[in-house]
Amino acid sequence: CWISLSKAKYIGMKKTVLVFGAYGKLGTHVVNQALDKGYKVKAFVRNPEKYTRTKGQEVEIVKGDATNITDVKHAMEGTDVVVSCLGNPPKKGKYIMEKAHSNIMSAASDSSSSPRCLMISSIGIGGSSWLVKFLLQKIGGKEGFTDFENAEKRVLQQNNVSFVVIRPAGLTDKKGKGKYSLITKPTVFFPKFISRSDVATFFIDCISNTSHDGKAIMIEGI
C-alpha cells in the first residue's frame, strides 16, 4: 500500500524538497525549477564549499555522502519530497547508485515525515529497451549499468514508500522546451534525446502530480 500524505499537512505551507546530486547538471535544473515553483529546497552535496547555484534564491545546503545512511537520515528530517539526480562518479570502478538509493529508501521508510521519493534511473533498464541496454553496456561497461539496475530494483521493492522511478532517454544540455513525451511501452528503437532541463521539468511536475506513483516511467524529448 502507498502512503497517503494528509492534505492538511500542506495548508499554508511550502513543501520542502531534498535534492540529491544538487551540484550536477540535472540537479542544478531541479533546484532552480523547484525554487521557481515556490518550494523550499535542501541541496544535499558532498562539498558545500564548491556548491554554486545559477540563481540567487535561498537554498539550505546539507553536507553529506549518499552512501552514508546516517547522513541521509539526517538530511531527510522535515522533508516532504526527495529527488535523486545521482549518478555514478567518473572515477572508473566506483559505483554508488545501489548503495545510495538503498539508503534513501530505507531513510524514507523510517522517516516520520513520510516523504515521496522521485528517483533517477535510465531507459534500457527493466526491459524498456534491449538496444539502449546493449549500447550503454558497451559505452559505460556492464558493471555501471548493473549498478543502475540494482538501484532501480531496490526502489521498486520498497512497498511502504511512495515513489516514482524516472527512466530518461539520452540526456543533452540543450535549452529545455518545458515539455517531454512519455514512452508507454518497451521500444526497440533509440528514443529521442531529452534535455536535462526537461527531465527536471518532469521531476518537478511529479511533486504535485501523484498519478505516476509506484511506477517506472520512461520519458523522451519532443
pLDDT of the residue at 50: 83
Residue 21 has a pLDDT of: 95
Cell 570502478 belongs to residue:
93
Can you give the pLDDT at residue 13?
A: 66
The Cα 202–Cα 16 span in angstroms is 17
Distance, CA of 195 to CA of 220 (rounded, Å): 9
Low-confidence ranges of the chain (pLDDT < 70): 1-13, 53-57
> Which pLDDT does position 95 carry in this prediction?
92
* CA nearest neighbour of 72 among 110, 104, 24, 101: 104
- Position 7 scores a pLDDT of 41
pTM (global) more than 0.85: yes
Per-residue confidence (pLDDT) for residue 137, from 0 to 100: 83
Amino acid 58: pLDDT = 85
pLDDT attached to residue 103: 98
How far apart CA 166 and CA 171 sit, in angstroms, is: 13
CA gap 139, 74 in Å, rounded: 36
* Distance in angstroms (rounded) separating the CA atoms of residues 119 and 202: 12
Q: What is the per-residue pLDDT for 97?
A: 96
